[in-house]
């Protein structure tokens, strides 16, 4: 027996509270992406400030770089914190409630962002130790945000536009990346205007072994990090005002009266009397059986019902994040041929040119990919968009690897434009593809009592892939014999995308325009060895035709 308040949610027209929920939840992801993706420019500035030695005997593109061990640690600790936050807060979201722990993760994000900016001391070791600690705390808060707002948005939305709303929340990631570039440019412009005697290395005598760094530049990178706390802090009040989702209240807490009252407050043209009928019907045997926890999390029955969906969601997220995070965190390498050499740049101009290239990629490729996903997700479906995205990401990466025979930016000038276009297409099809859909599908497949947990597990698998991709990319793209070289590294990423295409096609279940409670049902027709492919579709079609024929024969028999 369907619970009326949930049926009302599935059939509700798009209303003000839908957009309000998108903004409130979206600002969390906006902050998440800002904090995660502002770090490449910050690390560039830290290299100038704390490693200013001039090594004239080596390629100047390697000057002023934070050692690879420290750089990979700064990236890895934030992602490791994200993994922990996704697992812990995802489980708490199912045990305590989505709204109650939503504020806790936000507070951790705010404290982590502010702490990153106020990293103790100006001594090099202490700065990086302190920064690493607060980046980890920030990562835990960010990790908690992912499964919570994905679950909240999926449980608030109606079934027709659920994918659009969740994708709309996720698209705020693109604007967070863009804002990190804009804030960097604004801060650098301001500090450059107030700094005197900004000499470049090219103007120094040969006897100088240390590049001049303005003392106030140590404040600039801290401001960039602290600004990330502002959007998150602005949404705290509204997060605490949001009611608990009706699905958690009705299906997990078994309190349909409270769920009905909560929904009456936010849904227009729906009165409590229209959805109150279930309060009396909750005591019927059928309803009690439907709502009872008949199997625990990660039990044998759980894996029979949901194991394949959980594994496919986790594997797809793992694969896409290997590619997405590594290319995003180190995208400025792709534009080295277009960048002014470090010897002709001061610290602010150096950071400015990286931020500009990141903004160009965000505007021309990242954000359009998100927008197209928002528009098409409920028309085309999750599986088709995800498979298509993986396919074209692989094509772009293999083509880049073929064109780029050696290191970043070493190809002739006339081919660099095509190189950058292909690089941008990789981001476009990542966002109009698996980077968006892997966030949506786990929020739609699992029962309410496991939804946040399973989303957290899937997302944690993704962030493990991000750690492997970003840290591994940092080491693998170095020239042989120290690494694989860029061309071979890109080929490996292309193969990862090919694997993602096959996992999507054979194992991922479509969730478009179906009630959440219907999506969690076991799909009895699974092809061979739990693989979903054309024999499964043929069998289902034959089964449906058999049912229709039997009904026709039964109707004719009754008529006779």
CA 411 to chain centroid, in Å, comes to 32
Identify the CA nearest to 370 among candidates 434, 442, 446. Answer: 434
CB 119, CB 130: distance < 8 Å = yes
- Compute CA distances 412 → 28, 69, 221, 330, 397, whole Å: 42, 31, 34, 21, 19
Beta bridge partners of 53: 210
DSSP string across 464-509 = HHHHHHHHHHHHHTSPTTTS--HHHHHHHHHHHHHHHHHHHHHHPP
Residue 252 tokens, joined: 């997990």
Residue 163 tokens, joined: 């994918």
Residue 221 tokens, joined: 């990178």
pLDDT of residue 197: 67
Residue 403 tokens, joined: 């064109």
pLDDT of residue 29: 83
Phi-psi group of 4: left, alpha or beta (phi > 0 → left; psi -120 to 50 → alpha; rest → beta): alpha
Beta bridge partners of 210: 53
CB 187, CB 220: distance < 8 Å = yes
3-state SS of 110-125? HHHHHHHHCCCCCCHH
Instruction: For residue 387, say if its preceding peptide bond is cis, omega within 30 degrees of 0.
Output: no
- Following CA atoms 160, 166, 167, 171 in sequence, which dihedral angle do they give, to the nearest 10 degrees? 150
CB 110, CB 56: distance < 8 Å = no
Q: What is the pLDDT along the chain (560 residues), one digit of tens a residue?
A: 456 777 777 777 777 777 777 888 788 788 888 887 888 888 888 988 888 887 777 766 677 788 878 888 888 898 899 999 999 999 999 999 888 888 888 889 999 999 988 876 667 788 888 999 999 999 999 999 899 888 988 888 888 889 998 998 888 888 998 999 999 999 999 988 887 667 777 777 777 777 778 888 888 999 999 998 888 888 888 877 888 888 888 888 888 788 878 777 766 655 555 555 544 555 444 444 445 557 888 888 888 888 999 999 999 999 999 998 888 766 666 676 677 777 788 888 888 888 888 888 889 988 999 999 999 999 999 999 999 999 999 999 898 888 765 554 445 444 467 777 888 889 899 999 999 999 999 999 998 899 999 999 999 999 999 988 887 777 766 666 666 667 788 888 999 999 999 999 999 998 888 888 787 765 544 444 445 444 444 444 444 455 445 554 555 555 55
- Compute CA distances 255 → 251, 431, 484, whole Å: 8, 38, 58
- Compute CA distances 16 → 96, 237, 265, 361, 377, whole Å: 27, 18, 12, 32, 21
Q: In sequence order, which residues have a C-beta less than 8 Å from that of residue 164 and are 6 or more positions away?
A: 374, 375, 377, 378
- Compute CA distances 161 → 153, 260, 375, 386, 501, whole Å: 11, 21, 10, 18, 25
Cα dihedral 341, 345, 351, 354 sign:
negative
pLDDT of residue 414: 43
pLDDT of residue 500: 96
CB atoms inside a 10 Å sphere around CB 434: 33
pLDDT of residue 98: 86
Tell me the C-alpha distance between 385 and 434, whole Å: 7
CB 295, CB 36: distance < 8 Å = no
pLDDT of residue 428: 93
Q: Which residues of 320-340 are buried (b: 16+ CB within 10 A; e: fewer)?
A: bbbbbbbbbbbbbbbbebebe
pLDDT of residue 71: 82
CA 483 to chain centroid, in Å, comes to 28
pLDDT of residue 285: 46
- Compute CA distances 187 → 42, 64, 221, whole Å: 12, 20, 8
Q: In sequence order, which residues have a C-beta less than 8 Å from that of residue 534 and are 6 or more positions away?
A: none
CB atoms inside a 10 Å sphere around CB 558: 7
């Amino acid at each position: 027996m369907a619970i009326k308040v949930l049926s009302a949610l599935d059939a509700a027209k798009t209303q003000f509270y839908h957009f309000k929920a998108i903004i409130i939840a979206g600002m969390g992801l906006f902050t998440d992406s800002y904090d995660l993706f502002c770090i490449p420019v910050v690390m560039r500035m830290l290299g100038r400030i704390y490693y200013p030695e001039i090594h004239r005997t080596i390629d100047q593109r390697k000057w002023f770089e934070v050692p690879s061990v420290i750089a990979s640690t700064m990236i890895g600790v934030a992602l490791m914190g994200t993994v922990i936050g996704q697992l812990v807060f995802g489980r708490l979201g199912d045990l305590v409630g989505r709204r109650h722990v939503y504020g806790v993760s936000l507070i951790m994000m705010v404290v982590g962002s502010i702490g990153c900016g106020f990293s103790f001391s100006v001594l090099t070791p202490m700065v990086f130790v302190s920064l690493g600690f607060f980046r980890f705390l920030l990562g835990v808060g960010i990790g908690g945000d992912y499964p919570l707002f994905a679950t909240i948005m999926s449980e608030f939305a109606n079934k027709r536009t659920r994918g659009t709303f969740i994708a709309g929340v996720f698209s705020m990631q693109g604007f967070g990346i863009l804002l990190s570039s804009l804030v960097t440019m604004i801060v650098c412009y301001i500090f450059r205007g107030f700094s005197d005697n900004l000499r470049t290395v090219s103007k120094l005598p040969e006897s100088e072994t240390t590049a001049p760094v303005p003392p106030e530049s140590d404040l600039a990178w801290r401001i960039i990090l602290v600004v990330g706390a502002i959007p998150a802090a602005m949404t705290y009040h509204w997060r605490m005002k949001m009611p608990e989702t009706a699905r958690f209240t009705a299906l997990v807490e078994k309190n349909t009266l409270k769920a009905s009252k909560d929904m009456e407050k936010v849904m227009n043209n729906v009165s409590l009397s229209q959805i109150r009928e279930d309060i009396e019907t909750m005591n019927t045997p059928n309803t009690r059986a439907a709502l009872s926890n008949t199997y625990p999390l990660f039990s044998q029955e759980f894996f029979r019902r949901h194991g394949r969906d959980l594994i496919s969601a986790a594997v797809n997220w793992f694969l896409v994040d290997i590619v997405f995070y590594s290319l995003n965190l180190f995208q400025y390498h792709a534009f080295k041929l277009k960048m002014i050499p470090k010897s002709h740049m001061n610290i602010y101009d150096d950071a400015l040119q990286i931020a500009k290239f990141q903004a160009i990629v965000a505007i021309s490729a990242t954000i359009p990919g998100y927008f197209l996903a928002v528009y098409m997700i409920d028309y085309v479906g999750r599986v088709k968009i995800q498979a298509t995205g993986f396919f074209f990401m692989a094509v772009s990466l293999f083509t880049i690897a073929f064109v780029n025979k050696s290191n970043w930016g070493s190809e002739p000038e006339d081919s660099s434009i095509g190189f950058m276009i292909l690089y941008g297409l990789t981001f476009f099809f990542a966002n109009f593809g698996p980077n968006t859909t892997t966030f949506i599908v786990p929020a739609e497949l699992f029962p309410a009592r496991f939804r946040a947990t399973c989303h957290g597990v899937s997302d944690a698998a993704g962030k493990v892939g991000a750690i492997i991709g970003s840290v591994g990319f940092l080491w693998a793209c170095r020239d042989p014999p120290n690494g694989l070289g860029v061309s071979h590294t890109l080929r490996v990423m292309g193969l990862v995308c090919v694997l993602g295409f096959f996992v999507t096609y054979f194992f991922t279940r479509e969730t478009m325009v179906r009630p959440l409670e219907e999506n969690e049902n076991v799909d009895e027709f699974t092809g061979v060895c739990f693989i979903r492919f054309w024999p499964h579709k043929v069998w289902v079609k034959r089964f449906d035709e058999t049912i229709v024929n039997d009904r026709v024969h039964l109707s004719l028999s009754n008529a006779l």
